[in-house]
Amino acid sequence: MLRLHYNLEKMSMGLVVGIIVAASIGGIVEIAPLFTIDETVEIPDDMRPHTPLELAGREIYIREGCYACHSQMVRSLADELDRYGPYSLAAESAYDHPMLWGSKRTGPDLARLGEKYSDDWHSQHLIDPRSVVPASIMPAYPWLTRALDTELLSDQLATLAQLGVPYGPEMVEAAVADAIGQSQPDSDAGDAVRERYGEDVAVRAFDGNPSQLTEMDAVVAYLQSLGTLTDAAYDLLTGGTQ
C-alpha cells in the first residue's frame, strides 16, 4: 500500500488524479444529503414566510453585519434550552436564503427573540445600546431612522418565490403596499397584510411613527418575528420528540 503511494508520488498526473478522487469523496459526503433536502426537511403546517417588511429588515440585518456577532440558532444543548428556549429546527430557516444561523456569539443568540421585548426597547437599543444596557459593547445604529428603500422589494419576493418560498403572485405584486401596511395599525393595508400572511403577523408602528416607513420599522419588525414563524419548535419541550 505504502509502496504504491511511494511510486504514485513519482508520477505527477497519477498523483493529481488520486488527489481529485480523494477530495471528491470528501465533497460528495457533504453535498449528497442536500439533494434530498426538500424531502428531509418537513415544513410545519403553521409555518409562514417573512412579510415584505420583515424581509426588508432582514436585508438591513445582513447589511449592518448583525450576523457577525449574533447567531440565530439555539443549539441542542440543555443549557441553551434553559436560557433561550427550544432548540432551532431546520424547518424554521427553510425559507431563509441565505440562512443566518451563525456560530459566533459576541452578542446573545436571537433565534427566540421575537416579542420578548417591546418595539420601543428595540428602537431605543438600536439607536443607543448603552442607554438601556450599560455594559453593552454593541455599536449604535442611529441612521436606521431614515426612510426605507422599498424599490427592490417586489423583485426580492419574486426571486425568493423562484427559490421555493411560498410567495404567490399577489404577494409579489403587493409587496410595497404590504410593507407600508404592516407599519400602519388599524388601516386597510394593515388588514391586507394579515389576510395574506396570517392573523399572527404583528401589524404595528414599530418605530412609534405610523406616518413614515423607516429602516427602523423594518429591522424591528424582523427582530420581533424571529422564532414566531412557526410553533413547531415549542412542541419539542412539551410534547417530546420531533
Partner 1 sequence: MTDDPRLNPQGSEEMDVHTGHREVDPVTGYDTTGHDWNGIRELNTPFPKIAIWALALTFLYSVIAWVLLPAWPVGQDYTRGLLGLDQGEMAVERYQAISLDRDKWLARFETEDFATLQADDTLMLPAMVAADRLYQDNCAACHGGDGGGGPNFPVLNDDHWLWGGDPAAIAETLHVGINSLNDDTRFAQMPAFDYLERGERIALTDYVIALPHGTADPSAAGATLFADNCSACHAEDGGGGMMNGAPSLTDDAVIYGQDRASVNQTLRAGRQGVMPAWTGRLTDAEINLLALYVSGLPQRALEGQK
**Shortest distance, position 55 Cβ to partner 1, whole Å:** 21
Rank residues 162 and 238 by Cβ distance to partner 1 and give the closer one: 238
**Shortest distance, position 18 Cβ to partner 1, whole Å:** 16
Q: Quick one: how far is CA 75 from the chain centroid?
A: 16
**Shortest distance, position 39 Cβ to partner 1, whole Å:** 5
Rank residues 76 and 195 by Cβ distance to partner 1 and give the closer one: 76
Rank residues 39 and 151 by Cβ distance to partner 1 and give the closer one: 39
**Shortest distance, position 168 Cβ to partner 1, whole Å:** 26
* Dihedral sign (CA 160, 164, 166, 172): positive
Residues that bind partner 1 (CB under 8 A): 2-3, 6-7, 10, 32-33, 36, 39-40, 75-78, 80-83, 85, 87, 115-121, 124-125, 131-134, 202, 236-237, 240-242
